[in-house]
Chains A and B, each alone.
Chain A
């Protein structure tokens, strides 16, 4: 909302520099966005919060300025009788028919005959143009001027273009159409409230007038409408029709019903001044006498809610009175406050306390600290996520944050895919079509972008919720996603080695993540699925994670060529449910270990897990652990075979083992490996 300094001075005798006034208004909740000098005047642009329709008028801002600067507001005193329209007056010459009092609580119409439509006088044009309102002609400008000054939207019809001496306020009927003053034709629906003559709609109530009844240079007689329309109906109407106007902006926030007749009267006065003519007929719908709201406010409550003990009963009375509230002493230390009709936002004691605090000045409210409320020390998912992120950082992974909304087509080839992805009803672009049911496409996109920026190696993770359709409802679960790609150069002091990530790197991440949660990797079963690029990690009965080599044809869609991306996705709710966070000290063994290495060559297709399992069975209870210490394929080994070095650790918890007994046992193991797996011992 814009207003000029000189316009404001019409209503309040303020003599403060514009910059200073802007500060005062801003600190009272009327934020001044800019002050622009125009000629000898200044244009203020203020941000009006949606609860204050009264500030959408110069008089409303003047009222605030008066309260803040200890001035009285200058409003011309007009006898009530002069502007009130007696009920039933002129009812024979003109009628108003309102379908629903809820949609339109009051409607007034005044007929002004013999006007001279033409350009507005300079002062009027200048004021309107200063605040960004285009001058149309003297009649339209007069209605706009009164709206900006007083907050009551008005509309002028060309009386001769109305086909009847009846105005009907009703909902549009299906199939009805209306061409608006801006030239657009709109199809109307039952949600739209219209002003109609007896045959057809002539305006969209409170939003925009119709082309067919607009005032132009040939207009002789004018019907001036001043009414109040239901805020919700106006809001719905403008949304259905896709319209916006200064009038609708005010109606959807609430127009003061008590000011309607007065604004209409002032508009007639102004029209007579700038366009001549004579007000011959004035009619209005019956008024429902609204009861004024009365709210009790106590000084104790002011102190309790604000903490400002400096606010006195005198402050409360003075501040509220200056804002136009009626303040009467009630019991000791409390007031009964009558809320003026232009303040629909004030309904509770807290609302009045805000008014007091606002004008008293938030800067004058002390600064205190509340007592600290000790919180039980609970380790929840948030704390585990913090710990998990630190673990992943220590593994050299960078954290990324990507959008939870994604285009549907990037899910192609992923499981879960687009069928499981919840759809957004009102996306603004393709990028917001669905909620992602997996983190991987976003991570791969991130990898692709970084490779394009000439990164050699990308290792990233994200911890975020994923979303899946689940019947009529929707599942939202916390997941960890990891993606590794490229070639890492590892500097080892004597030179560099190149390392290209694969499934075992992903396994390493899973292992460390599990260990930090007190879960041993040995508890994890790796399950190969039908798809060769996927290995599932199961712990107990839960499928906690999936390791994937992303297929090349998918990678090409992300502009990744001739490179592999290995990914890991973990269901954190499942993983956290398995966490063993309590730590317990285990003393190390008393008796010494005996180590024996086995170097063997065996068929490539025999899995390492089977070798370890065979050793375990053969060696029995004295075998504490086995460890793979070397693995090789290549020149020294014939095709189809692999070399493996397994270190076996023997120990007893009851005594020191002798070399002799372990040599015998180990010999059994070697023989067994040869027999069972066809392994050749080297």
Chain B
């Protein structure tokens, strides 16, 4: 029989437990009593040395003591955690598992997708769910596809909205000023029904400032079939706008003019910042313009060889930067092209 007995342990226990004031003390106490070579383990290992008739009773006593110590330690631990706040859960884990979990994680750094790409993918994905297919087109375009085919006369003030970069020594070639020329390309290549979205880069000779860039991104979309209506355009764009800005937003369609649609509409959403009350972001209007749209002009349909008496369709186009700026609260368009890691890492 070893020199320890259950009564001595019991007697000194309360005093010992009362002295615990730190996680370290707690752990030391746990090791002393409950560790692999602790006092209780020693008691247990002494069982075979006892007379057979004493063993069950002694075993039960040891177990009862063990339970008592465990629950006392748990109570003390809880109070220590409570004192130190939740952060101290860490050090306990350290001690128990043998690792300092406060050290940096071992993890391969993963890169970041540019916010413009993320927003553009999100837009395309929303339309994809409604059956739209992604088509892309070249950035260097013909004057015909960029203007004439879209019912924009060469010498008309409606072209003022589309200042354009031209390519030297390449007559009639330009950098597309919108993604709409892909409408002409896609419709010439296929017959209705057609539902297409076109993401891509576009270019306009604008002086650069916080809200203008000479290169930016658009997503164009259009659908052509028998019996496509303005009400369908409203439905599709509502699904889109609520998908990207949240179900709680309101939207409105305002008559507007675009040479390639008739009727035409601009689409506004209620300002997320002031909830429609009017603030500096929305110019005190309570509404934010997000895109232009309309029913494809019969002349455009005719230009691609569709019979406007049989087919109708709608089209819309939006600036990705504008949507990303509204969505993420970015106030300077130049941030997108500076590619500062501190910017990219936030997305």
Contacts and interface: CB of A to CB of B under 8 A. Distances in A.
17 contacts: A305-B263, A306-B263, A348-B298, A354-B262, A358-B255, A362-B253, A363-B253, A365-B230, A366-B234, A367-B235, A369-B235, A399-B117, A405-B175, A476-B138, A476-B139, A491-B106, A493-B103
Interface stretch (B36-44, B84-92, B155-163): B155-163
A175 interface: no
A471 B231 CA distance: 48
Interface of B: 103-106, 108-114, 116-117, 121, 130-134, 136, 138-140, 155-158, 160-161, 165-170, 173, 175, 193-195, 201, 203, 205-207, 214-215, 223, 225, 227-232, 234-236, 238-239, 252-257, 259, 262-265, 295, 297-298, 312, 336-342, 344-345
A180 to B, nearest CB: 22
Contacts of B336: 401
Contacts of B236: 369-370
A307 B231 contact: yes
Interface stretch (A200-208, A372-380, A554-562, A573-581): A372-380
B231 A375 contact: no
Given A363-B253, A401-B339, A425 B168 contact: yes
Contact of B232 (A357, A370, A400, A453): A370
A31 B167 CA distance: 35
Contacts of A367: 231, 234-235, 238
Interface in A253-307: 253, 304-307
Interface in A368-417: 368-375, 378, 380-383, 386, 389, 392-405
A449 B255 contact: no
Q: Which 3 A-B pairs have the closest CB atoms?
A: A307-B231, A29-B255, A307-B229
A172 B26 CA distance: 102
B110 A350 contact: no
Nearest to B173: A474
Point out which of A398, A455, A491 has the most chain B C-beta atoms below 10 A from its C-beta. Answer: A398
A460 B339 CA distance: 9
A353 interface: yes
Nearest to B255: A29
A450 B344 CA distance: 11
A383 B112 CA distance: 18
A164 interface: no
Interface in A434-476: 435, 446, 449-450, 453, 455, 458-461, 464-465, 467, 472-474, 476
A559 B238 CA distance: 48
A370 B238 CA distance: 13
A49 B257 contact: yes
A252 interface: yes
A193 B109 CA distance: 67
Given A351-B262, A455-B341, A474-B167, A31 B232 contact: no
Given A425-B166, A449-B338, A368 B205 contact: no
Contact of B167 (A29, A253, A402, A422): A422
Q: Is the interface of B mostly helix, strand, loop or mixed?
A: mixed
B111 A396 contact: yes
Contact of B158 (A50, A378, A392, A393): A50
Contacts of B339: 398, 400-402, 446, 449-450, 460
A235 B205 CA distance: 20
Contact of B215 (A253, A398, A403): A403
A354 B263 contact: yes
Interface of A: 26-29, 31, 49-52, 231-232, 235-236, 252-253, 304-308, 345, 348, 350-351, 353-354, 357-358, 362-363, 365-375, 378, 380-383, 386, 389, 392-405, 422-428, 431-432, 435, 446, 449-450, 453, 455, 458-461, 464-465, 467, 472-474, 476, 491-493
B255 A354 contact: yes
B168 A396 contact: no
A455 B345 CA distance: 12
A115 B295 CA distance: 54
A401 to B, nearest CB: 5
Contacts of A308: 230-231
B111 A399 contact: yes
A389 B257 CA distance: 38
Contacts of A464: 201
Given A304-B312, A422-B168, A373 B257 contact: no
Contacts of B169: 423
B61 to A, nearest CB: 45
Contact of B205 (A366, A369, A373, A428): A428
A252 B160 CA distance: 12
B255 A426 contact: no
